[in-house]
Amino acid sequence: MTDTPLVELSKIGLTRGGHRILDGVDLAVYPGRILTVVGPNGAGKSTLLKVALGLVGASEGEVRRSAKVVGYVPQRLEIGSLLPLSVRRFLAMAVPERMERDRLEAILDAVGAGHVLGRQVANLSGGELQRVLLARALLRRPQLLVLDEPVGGVDVAGQAELYDLISRQARAERVGVLMVSHDLHVVMAATDHVVCLNRHVCCAGHPEAVSIHPEYLALFGPSVAASLAIYTHAHDHGHCADGRIQPLDHVHGPECRHG
């Protein structure tokens, strides 16, 4: 892959209070590609995103970021019920320049939240707030989009729609996406590269390869893996273990896991 990574983590380790949270984690996010981190509760997924963003310092390793503009959707955001903050004002705070009304409404419509523009943020449901947070991140025209459980509180049909929107945004605008998700049955259909994390990287690669990896099966069980909507498509390229795409007529290297 010739693109420079938008963010690259090398040998990241993190220890707090004698407790090992991350151990030797490597990953890289490229323009136009979606990398999804999966793993059990307590695996260090959200902490890993915060390290990538520079919000948490690692004990060991190196973080390199080339992305100039980053959009971030946290796992949760608490807005005080007494704070008078409309959705319009909340979104306007995301960008320094005056925001065009048409663009604002188009992005809200795209995430399925066009009806909440005049409402108070504190009065939104969990699913509505997540949609507004995604819209806010997209308004910045990010090069890198970092999403921590971006569809929390959204129903199953809405989850698929939002993951599809994220995928289309990545392709159309060459946005790199680093995402944590528990929604394995949905998110597998919208990602290019999966990192299975349990403090360390258990396995990584294309969703089809990860779904049959012994360490993935040991964490989630074969019945869960069998139920996943694995991302399959008619294609003229193959996927290597590091997430790179190669034409089918390329010479296979030792790092490739496809035929």
| pTM score, whole prediction | 0.80
Cβ-contact 180, 49 below 8 angstroms: yes
Greatest alpha-carbon pair distance for the chain in Å reads 62
Residue listed under structure tokens 């409404």 = 105
Domain annotation for the chain: domains and CATH numbers:
1-69+145-259 (3.40.50.300), 74-141 (no CATH)
Residue listed under structure tokens 């048409």 = 102
Q: Name the more confident of 221 and 183.
A: 221
pLDDT category at 58 given cuts 50, 70, 90 is very high
Exposure class string for 227-257: b at 16+ Cβ within 10 A, else e? ebebbeeeeeebbbbbbbebeeeeeeeeebb
Residue listed under structure tokens 């819209």 = 135
Quick one: what percent of the chain has pLDDT higher than 70?
A: 80
Question: pLDDT for 143-158, tens place per residue?
Answer: 999 999 887 777 777 7
